[in-house]
């Protein structure tokens, strides 16, 4: 998933790779964003004889400033054969394109990515008589994502039509059918792409990950061969198979006494609980380290990429995902991040609410130390409850925070209360309608029987 990844076929000293980790953090890209528009054609223009002189592109920032760095294409390459008053742009030969830095129908705007992402871009189809100019506008973050390409059909309108629509639509810049409109009336067809840098911390993570993967590949190339050879040698030895002779009786004995050990542990659970938790934590840490090492290898990376790639791409389609990964403006809050990943349906919210309340009440398992766990869980619970139910009960997250911080209040199911507040009226209304329909059906049957 990381672009410009380091090739993995060149051995590298792990010590050198580890020293490069610190340098990788300083290599985060800081270049501006770039908006590239390729003008394809203009269709169904309202003027019979007039030929456009070109298409200009400019942007206006969210505060109303901008529009001064206007760039323009050349005139259209040809009239369209199948549509009246329609023109094609581009049309340069291969030799001409080779001698140009960019195609004649390509427009590029460069600015900080955060500025471009929130800006309104204006495309103007220009004529020699400026009163005939036609324009179309689109808001970038509603139209295209960072490092994504969109094919658009934008409705064109005159300055008079634009002024009238601004009055009727309450100041909305975009036509009702912008960015893939119905195609009725004059339209401008183009390809739009927005590119820009990752956030510095994301770039640092990508660079560090590439360095780490390179080091793991070097270690794997060095150790896997001897390890595989040793395992094959051991597998061929008859003496190894003889170890099954003492192993089978011991395994049978362990299976027989396992219920006894389980019963003793169940009776003494309150005394053994801290030890059990320590063992579980140590086992989880060992499993996490082993999994991280495996998924850092070539085979592990291939398997994990197939699993997480669809979810990663869906996450990038959200505005919160764009704000986390790319430098498009202020960083999202923890609650925004939680809102992007938590479910919004009734059953999903119920499951998450029950889990949140269960974790909050788990501190009762350790009477004294559990209160210390509540101090760490309180802000997390507040964030999750706010992400789930801020639209229904904005103050509920503060109740969740107080519940976890105050002693002996963990039994209050705050998240479940939010679920009941949001969905109980809906369920009650559905029940009433169902009962009303059933009653009406029974009355109809009684009337029919009497007839």
How high is the mean pLDDT in each 10-residue block of the chain (451 residues)?
Answer: 39 46 43 88 87 90 64 86 83 49 81 87 91 90 88 89 70 48 75 90 87 85 61 53 65 76 71 77 89 84 84 80 84 83 88 89 68 82 91 89 83 88 87 76 70 64
Residues 179 and 249 placed together within one structural domain of the fold? no
pLDDT at 446: 67
Helix and strand tally (H, E) in the chain? 16, 10
Handedness of CA 138, 141, 147, 148 (dihedral sign): negative
DSSP 44: S
Q: 275 and 188 share a domain?
A: no
For residue 167, what are the domain limits?
A: 33-196
Do residues 309 and 339 share a domain? no
- pLDDT number for residue 366: 66
> Is residue 81 domain-shared with residue 123, that is, in the same domain?
yes
Supply 326's token pair.
């790319």
Of 120, 100, 123, which is closest to residue 38 (Cα–Cα)? 123
Give the chain's domain count.
Answer: 3
For residues 302 and 350, membership in a common domain is answered with no
Instruction: Confirm whether 266 is domain-assigned.
Output: yes
Sheet holding 54-60, edge to edge: 71-72, 54-60, 120-126, 134-139
Structural domain contains residue 21: no
Question: SS3 for 87?
Answer: strand
Alpha-carbon span 40 to 151, nearest angstrom: 10
H or E stretch including 150?
Answer: strand 148-155
Residues 224 and 159 in one domain: no
Same domain, 44 and 183: yes
Q: Are residues 265 and 337 in the same domain?
A: no
CB 217 within 8 A of CB 8: yes
**CA dihedral of residues 397, 398, 404, 408 (deg, nearest 10):** -120
Q: What is the DSSP letter of 365?
A: G
Whether 125 and 133 have beta carbons less than 8 Å apart is answered as yes
**pLDDT at 270 (0 to 100):** 67
DSSP annotation of 78? E
Residue 384 has a pLDDT of 92
Q: Where among 316, 348, 363 does a domain terminate? A: 316
132 secondary structure, DSSP code: G
**Domain end call among 196, 230, 259:** 196
Are 184 and 229 members of one domain? no
Contact 89, 73 (CB under 8 A): yes
CA distance 42 to 10: 51
Kindly state the helix (H) or strand (E) to which residue 99 belongs, with its residue range: helix 94-99
Residue 446 CA: distances (Å) to CA of 163, 293, 440: 64, 72, 10
Which pLDDT does position 206 carry in this prediction? 87
pLDDT the model gives residue 124: 92
> What's the length of the chain?
451
Say if residue 176 is in the same domain as residue 210.
no
Statement to judge: residues 190 and 235 lie in one domain: no
In this structure, is residue 125 part of a structural domain?
Answer: yes
Residue 13 lies in a domain: no
Q: How far is CA 292 from CA 12, 234, 284, 297, in A?
A: 20, 27, 12, 9
Looking at residue 9, its pLDDT comes to 40
The answer to whether residue 413 sits within a structural domain is yes
Nearest Cα neighbor of 90 from 156, 39, 53, 45 is 39
Q: Which of 178, 192, 182, 196 is nearest to 138 (CA)?
A: 178
Residue 19 in any domain: the answer is no
Query: Which pTM was predicted?
Result: 0.62
**Residue 16: inside a domain:** no
* Structure token digits, residue 404: 């976890």
CATH number at residue 118: 2.60.40.150
Domain end position, chosen among 290, 316, 342: 316
158 and 55 in a single domain? The answer is yes
Q: Do the Cβ atoms of 55 and 191 come closer than 8 Å?
A: no
């Amino acid at each position: 998933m990381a672009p410009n990844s380091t090739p993995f076929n060149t051995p590298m000293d792990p010590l050198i790779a580890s020293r490069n980790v610190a340098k990788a953090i300083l290599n985060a890209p800081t270049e501006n964003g770039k908006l590239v528009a390729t003008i394809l054609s203009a269709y169904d223009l309202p003027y019979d004889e007039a030929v456009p002189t070109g298409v200009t592109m400019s942007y206006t920032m969210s505060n109303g400033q901008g529009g001064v760095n206007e760039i323009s294409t050349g005139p259209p390459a040809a009239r369209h054969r199948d549509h009246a008053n329609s023109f094609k742009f581009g049309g340069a030969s291969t030799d001409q394109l080779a001698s140009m830095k960019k195609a004649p129908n390509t427009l590029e705007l460069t600015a900080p990515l955060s500025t471009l992402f929130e800006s309104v871009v204006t495309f103007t189809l220009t004529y020699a008589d400026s009163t005939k100019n036609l324009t179309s506008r689109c808001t970038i973050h509603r139209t295209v994502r960072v490092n994504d390409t969109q094919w658009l059909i934008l409705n064109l309108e005159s300055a008079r039509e634009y002024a009238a629509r601004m009055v009727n639509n309450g100041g909305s810049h975009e036509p009702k059918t912008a960015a893939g409109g119905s195609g009725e009336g004059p339209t401008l067809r183009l390809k739009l792409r927005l590119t820009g840098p990752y956030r510095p911390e994301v770039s640092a993570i990508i660079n560090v990950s590439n360095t780490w993967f390179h080091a793991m590949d070097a270690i794997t190339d060095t150790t896997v061969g001897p390890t595989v050879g040793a395992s094959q040698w051991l597998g061929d030895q008859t003496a190894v198979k003889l170890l099954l002779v003492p192993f089978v009786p011991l395994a049978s004995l362990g299976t027989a006494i396992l219920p006894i050990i389980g019963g003793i542990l169940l009776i003494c659970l309150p005394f053994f609980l801290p030890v059990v938790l320590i063992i579980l934590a140590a086992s989880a840490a060992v499993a996490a380290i082993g999994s991280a090492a495996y998924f850092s290898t070539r085979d592990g990376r291939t398997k994990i990429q197939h699993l997480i790639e669809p979810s990663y791409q869906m996450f990038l389609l959200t505005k919160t995902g764009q704000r986390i990964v790319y430098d498009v403006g202020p960083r999202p809050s923890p609650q925004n991040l939680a809102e992007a990943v938590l479910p919004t349906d009734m059953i999903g919210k119920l499951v998450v609410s029950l889990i949140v309340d269960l974790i909050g009440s788990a501190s009762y398992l350790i009477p004294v130390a559990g209160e210390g766990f509540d101090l760490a869980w309180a802000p997390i619970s507040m964030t999750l409850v706010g992400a789930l139910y801020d639209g229904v009960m904005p103050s509920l997250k503060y109740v969740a925070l107080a519940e976890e911080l105050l002693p002996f209040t963990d039994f209050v199911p705050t998240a479940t209360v939010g679920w009941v507040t949001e969905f109980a009226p809906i369920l009650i209304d559905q029940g009433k309608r169902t009962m009303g329909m059933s009653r009406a059906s029974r009355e109809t049957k009684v009337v029919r029987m009497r007839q």
